[in-house]
Structure 1
């Protein structure tokens, strides 16, 4: 199953120019490799000739990289700050920033790696997932410079710890850690990055019950408290108010209860659609959103039952059901 994805000029980390070449590789090239870098793949043809739509998407990513990356890290990232100079075995401890990706989003991880110009991508053992890790000093400085001031969750405390660590190691840098971003949620691409990590587009097709039902929703869940014991209710409330919905408590009887935000009305779904058209998703979740939005259009027009077969077909290829990934037509 061939996948076409972009390959960026490594100079992009300096001038943020849009890349001009394509990379072509097969699924087996990356499913089986424990360590994957851009050198593994063959560069072919010109991006604008092959997929002008993808070029537009990369332009969007470059424009919105800082807040999008902050949201992605706050959803699926980990900021590691060593608490001691050396390990028990005497090895030096280094800070790192790690972002987890489902295997199907490897092209997104690669895109970010080359845009940022630092870090490595490794495959998780016995898991369909990859980890993009930045642990060199220059790379960490670059990530900090991008996301500082765009964080919206308590993970900003981890970033501030990292900045303190950097300033201790290199006092001349004197990086000023910025507070949580309180600007309007719809004003930048942070929410798109957060959705990329933790959002889910859902379609309900209960057709064999006594009272058949069709439904469409978007869901985002978060643990009620983070590793520092800080509640997530504040930022989940900001998201809920933006979407004109409420925060609900779920899994109350479990060890790790959660908060959930879910859209279900025409109004709340329209707010989400308008936002994601302004600040697009960049990974395979964009493909799910496209199918979900097609179904949503049927609900807006009141023609969902007339198009029930198409809805069932689209639902079957969304989320875990998606087996084909067309990165050249993601917009």
Structure 2
């Protein structure tokens, strides 16, 4: 785990390990049966390995990432533009921090992600129902950052339905590389947008067959 949420994982492991310790002398058959099947877990530190060394970013993206296909008119021109973005947004501080003074920030991990993609970290402030929400955003918006993502997700495929959105997003990206004119792939982009992200109505889970997470 790479984020401040590791605190919650450590709490869960402490509870689990304490259950084993506190019940090791139990005479209850049910408890003895449970204890015979489990072992204490090791508490590991924050993962500081390279981003592309494991599938962590895949899980983060499945939870909080977004692929977008934006179609709009160019300003002052009678031409349509198709833009692709990958966006990852998360609150600025871990919500279980003890106090305002001791809040643990997500900035470090978002900075690591931005360095990996060679992009910037953006800060966002929203007011919803009189409450302030602060977040950090990392966005892949240029060709190089998108290629970096493609390389990563080809190595560690997404698990949720966002995998389907990624495939559609990737399809348009590839069309952009082979067609210099937007008009040559505009209809395809419009068609895909009708069954994409929140508007998606068709799903297939074939990508979970022989999933790399299920391999020993």
TM-score w.r.t. length of structure 1 = 0.51
State the alpha-carbon separation in 2 of the partners of residues 164 and 317 from structure 1.
44
Question: Which consecutive aligned stretches of 4+ in structure 1 deviate over 4 angstroms post-superposition?
Answer: none
Contact 2:114–2:121 (8 Å) recurs in 1: yes
Q: Which moved more, 1:164-173 or 1:214-223?
A: 164-173
The corresponding residue for 1:165 is 15
2:214 corresponds to: none
1:150-299 → structure 2 map (5 Å cutoff): 151-171=1-21, 173-207=39-73, 210-211=76-77, 212-227=80-95, 228=97, 229-251=103-125, 255-299=132-176
In structure 2, what is the equivalent of residue 315 of structure 1? 193
Q: How far has the Cα of 1:159 moved from its partner?
A: 1.1
- Cα distance in structure 2, aligned partners of 1:188 and 1:159: 18
Structure 1 segments unaligned to the other structure (5+ residues): 1-150
Distance 1:155 1:330, change over 3 A: closer
How far apart in 1 are the matches of 2:206 and 2:87?
A: 27
Give, in whole Å, the separation in 1 of the partners of 2:181 and 2:18.
59
If the length of structure 2 is used for normalisation, what is the TM-score?
A: 0.77
How many Å separate the matches in 1 of 2:51 and 2:167? Answer: 22
Structure 2 gaps of 5+ residues are 25-38, 98-102, 210-216
Stretch of structure 1 that moved more, 237-246 or 301-310? 301-310
Cα displacement (A) at 1:300: 2.2
Report if aligned partners of 1:154, 1:230 keep a CA contact under 8 Å in 2.
yes
CA drift at 1:328: 3.1
- From the CA coordinates, give the structure whose radius of gyration is larger: 2
Alpha-carbon separation, structure 2, partners of 1:246 and 1:274:
19
> When the two structures are aligned, how many residues end up with a matched partner?
181
How far residue 204 of structure 1 moved from its aligned partner, in angstroms, is 1.1
1:326/1:168 Cα in 2 relative to 1: closer, same or farther (>3 Å)? closer
- Find the aligned partners of 2:75 and 2:115 in 1 and give their Cα distance: 34
The secondary structure found in structure 2 opposite 1:313 is helix
Q: CA RMSD in A?
A: 2.0
Change (3 A) 1:310 1:303: farther
Shift, 1:321, TM fit: 1.1
Residue 72 of structure 2 contacts residue 82 of structure 2 at CA under 8 Å; is this kept in 1?
yes
Q: Output one character per residue of 1:5-53: Cα deviation in whole Å (capped at 9) or x when no partner.
A: xxxxxxxxxxxxxxxxxxxxxxxxxxxxxxxxxxxxxxxxxxxxxxxxx
- Indicate the SS of the match to 2:133: coil
Inter-partner Cα distance in structure 1 for 2:88 and 2:9: 23
Aligned equivalent of 2:32: none
Q: Distance in 2 between matches of 1:304 and 1:226?
A: 45
